[in-house]
Amino acid sequence: MGEQQQVKFPQGVIDEYAALGVDLPALFSAGHLGTRMGVQILEASAERVVGTMPVEGNTQPYGLLHGGASAVLAETLGSVGSMLHGGSSKIAVGVDLNCTHHRGIRSGLVTGVATPVHRGRSTATYEIVITDEADKRVCTARLTCLLRDLRPGDGEQAAG
């Protein structure tokens, strides 16, 4: 669960960040919370971000996948897409997250796919669809991020 897979980034994005001396997999990881929850980002571009999360360890007292766990997966994937859309001079900050939980699930792995609804200069909105291993929809989420200019020290926070 703690083993990170290599995220697939478009070559242009890799080149842009490498020129700045930025380690993309570290910058666009699931972060400390996502790591504790077993979130794995498998594919990442401004057009599509895909990630998985185990149900085990992320359940509520009734044994079902916790709605907050779905929210963590959704916000992680939508934030990565927003950051990639904003580019290396911007930072994405979530300002609105909406989750609709469609069905309960007790085991297995869920997969989230984030696709853009709106990509502007100052905001980005992504729809995130989370499905179970039978490809049944578990949750639909929408995340809007503010894209603000990168400030000195922001990169140190993200990398640390």
Known catalytic residues are: 75
DSSP run (H or E) holding 112 = strand 109-119
Write the CA distances from 17 to 25, 50, 51, 89, integer angstroms. 11, 20, 21, 10
Q: Please state, in angstroms and rounded to a whole number, the distance separating the CA atoms of residues 139 and 74.
A: 9
The CA distance from 126 to 74, in Å, is 9
Give kind and range of the element (H or E) at residue 149: strand 137-149
The SS3 assignment for 136 reads: coil
